[in-house]
Structure 1
Amino acid sequence: MNKTEQSQNQQSKPRIIIVHGSAITPGIINRHWYKWLQAELQKLDFDTIAPSLPDEKEAKDCIWIPFLLEKLGSAENAILIGHSSGAMAILRLCEQVKVQGLVLISAGYEGNDEDQLWNWNKIKDNTQWIEQFHSSDDPFAPVNSSRYIAKRIQSTYHEFHDRNHFLCPEFPDLIDIIKTRCGLS
């Protein structure tokens, strides 16, 4: 493939942003699937970033959302992958901007629609597709909350029973989803 073909191929592929959860330190980021996924997607010529988010302990929307908006670039051609509170942050982001796709991992929800003022319909309208992963043995994000989110946003929902909070070194399911959704498989 020559440089022109590589450039055209890169432009046609979405930008992928991996958003970690709260209470994540650089050491944890390097031990779990975030950097592994970034490297694997880059091998497939995706423009992929896994930034360390500011305010990683509290995950305040007023800090994370502007930071993510800055990283998005052309949002409509972006895929956002969020883990735990990172999943909740990208849901909030999609109340404001259109993206190509979302992948939610261990999305935990507390409260009800009135408590959190979620605009579920706007999130659905602002995404072409949504994939969601959860494990029934997750000690941090109740499975019922993830099921509730899946129902509200009509995501493609994948539930496991032995993945805990998905704090594993590799997560091949994500590669398969991205390849399928981007027409590479």
Structure 2
Amino acid sequence: MSLVNMAKDEHRGANKAVIVPGNGGGNIESCLWYGWTKKRLNKIPNFQCLLRNMPDPYTAREEIWLPFMESELQCDDQTIIIGHSSGAAAAMRYAETHKVFAIILVSAYTSDLGDPIEQESGYFNRPWQWEAIKSNCRYIVQFGSTDDPFLPWSEQQDVADGLGAELHKYLDRGHFQNTEFHELISVVQKLLDSRA
């Protein structure tokens, strides 16, 4: 590959988003804001949004989800990964070892919170590689809310501090279990505008 082509590849923009949901199972097309977001992002020209039911939906094991994200969802350096809750943990671990265009973390956290299912998932059994994640992502955006009933704000802030994320902090959004998410659409559009 010539140096010119390498330079072009280095500056490729995003051509898709992948929504990685929280654990819990069910058809994610009709869950929370996921399907609503997919429909809106798929209206953007030359862009697609993927939303798939994940394997192992209840425990969300890292050893199952990360290979699925690589082989089935084909998350790469032109992908914006939108991860919610367990999906945010998956997005961060994925970005430790894979180049992606951006990660958008919704309700991200740093520990298993003493929960047996979170412990079994495998995401929290070692330190986070903040520098590796930062070097593998062109953009990192985070949405968090101080009134999240499941996550202490201190852990959400630790993610923002560790990653130097563009933090969208709310006081009244809980665990972002709403059915629409207009601010997320705006952030994705802003990232896509940066492709030019």
TM-score range, shorter chain: 0.7 to 0.9
Residue type of the alignment partner of 2:65: W
Aligned to 2:97, what secondary structure does the other structure show?
Answer: coil
Contact 1:84 1:141 in 2 (8 A): no
Q: Which residue number corresponds to residue 34 of structure 2?
A: 34
Q: What are the superposed Cα offsets for residues 62-104 of structure 1, whole Å, 9 maximum, x if unpaired?
A: 0000000113436111100000010000100001110110100
Q: Deviations over 1:48-73 (max 9, x none)?
A: 10111111111110000000011343
User: Aligned partners of 2:24 and 2:133: how far apart in 1?
Assistant: 25
Look up the match of 1:181.
Answer: 191
Tell me the CA shift for residue 13 of structure 1. Answer: 4.5
Structure 1: how far apart are the matches of 2:75 and 2:147? Answer: 36
Moved more, 63-72 or 92-101: 63-72
Q: Which runs of 5+ in 2 are unaligned?
A: 1-11, 113-123
Q: Distance in 1 between matches of 2:66 and 2:75?
A: 15
Partner residue of 2:148?
138
- Look up the SS of the partner of 1:81 in the other structure: strand
Q: Kindly, what percent of the aligned residue pairs are identical?
A: 34
Q: Secondary structure at the match of 1:133?
A: strand
Amino acid at match of 1:150: A
Change (3 A) 1:73 1:134: same
Q: Classify 1:68/1:115 alpha carbon distance in 2 versus 1 (closer, same or farther; 3 Å).
A: closer
Correspondence 1:122 to 2:132: yes
Q: How does 1:89-128 map to 2 (within 5 A)?
A: 89-110=90-111, 116-128=126-138
Partner of 1:157: 167
Deviation at 1:117, TM superposition (A): 2.3
- Match for residue 58 of structure 2? 57
Distance 1:142 1:55 in 2: 26
Which structure has greater helix proportion? Answer: 1
Q: 1:92 to 1:136 in 2, by over 3 A?
A: same
- 1:109 to partner: Cα distance: 1.6
Structure 1 residues 116 and 36 mapped into 2: Cα distance closer, same or farther (>3 Å)? same
Contact 1:80 1:102 in 2 (8 A): yes
Are residues 12 and 154 of structure 1, via their aligned partners in 2, closer, same or farther at CA, if it must alter by over 3 Å? closer
Q: Determine the C-alpha separation between the residues in 1 that align with 2:145 and 2:35.
A: 21
In structure 1, the gaps of 5 or more residues are 1-10
Query: Residues 130 and 13 (structure 1 numbering): CA distance in 2 closer, same or farther, change over 3 Å?
Result: closer
Alignment correspondent of 1:69: 70
Paired residues of 1:87 and 1:106 also in contact (CA < 8 A): yes
Q: What TM-score comes out, normalization by structure 2 length?
A: 0.82
Q: Is the 8 A contact 2:14 2:77 kept in 1?
A: no
- CA RMSD for the aligned pairs? 1.9
Q: Equivalents in 2 of 1:101, 1:41: separation in Å?
A: 15
Q: What is the aligned length?
A: 171
The 8 Å contact of residues 101 and 139 in structure 2, kept in 1 or not, is answered as yes
